[in-house]
Amino acid sequence: MDFHGTTILAVRHRGKVAVAGDGQVTMNNTVVKHTAKKVRRIYNDTIIVGFAGATADALNLSERLEGKLERYNGNLTRSAVELAKDWRTDKYLRRLEALMIAVDSSRMFLVSGNGDVIEPDEGVIGIGSGGVGAQAAAMALIKYSDLGARDIVEEAMKIASSLCVFTNDRITIEEL
């Protein structure tokens, strides 16, 4: 069975960071859950992670990132790079189907199984089926509104949920 869709959006704006995720889980063409929590805090509530992809794979990656954070004293950059290296080279991990956004008070990364650790130029990144729409909406809101980071992710996720059938409007938001 395939799990499809999710929208995760991270925005850094005016010294704050907010990460949002929708709550919809679909299996093939059926919605099986409306209130999943795809964004959560880890490492003493100092890091926020959000996931797109298979749920079990995403949770596995979250636990592995937290282990790296413990090993490298909360250094998100080093932990993300080490996780990406493991993910790319480990025979078991290579089969995990997920993308992860990880943020702390100063850094924001997209981490993938291809070995990518990408820090966006604009302080905005979206992943999942509605990620591009959410990211575009967030960038416009940053440029043309006076909203703060939390309100930007909330409004951008509402826009994404109105466009993407795999994204709903039951949004979880975490802030630093």
| Residue of 6, 7, 167, 172 with catalytic role | 6
Write out the two tokens for 90.
Answer: 């480990």
Query: Mean per-residue pLDDT for 73-83?
Result: 96
Residue 81: CB atoms within 10 Å: 17
19-32 pLDDT, tens digit each? 999 999 888 788 88
Quick one: fold of 3-167? Answer: Glutamine Phosphoribosylpyrophosphate, subunit 1, domain 1 (3.60.20)
Residue 1 has pLDDT above 50, yes or no: no
CB 11 within 8 A of CB 18: yes
CA separation for the pair 124, 17 (Å, rounded)? 10
CB 66 within 8 A of CB 43: yes
Secondary structure class of 158 (helix, strand, coil):
helix
pLDDT band at 92 (very low <50, low <70, confident <90, very high): low
Query: Mean per-residue pLDDT for 105-109?
Result: 96
36 — alpha (psi -120 to 50), left (phi > 0) or beta? beta
Query: Mean per-residue pLDDT for 114-140?
Result: 94
pLDDT of residue 155: 98
Catalytic (active site) residue 6: yes
Residue 52 CA: distances (Å) to CA of 4, 57, 70, 166: 9, 10, 23, 11
pLDDT of residue 93: 65
Secondary structure class of 92 (helix, strand, coil):
coil
pLDDT of residue 35: 92
Spell out the alpha helix ranges (H) of the chain. Answer: 55-71, 76-89, 131-144, 149-163
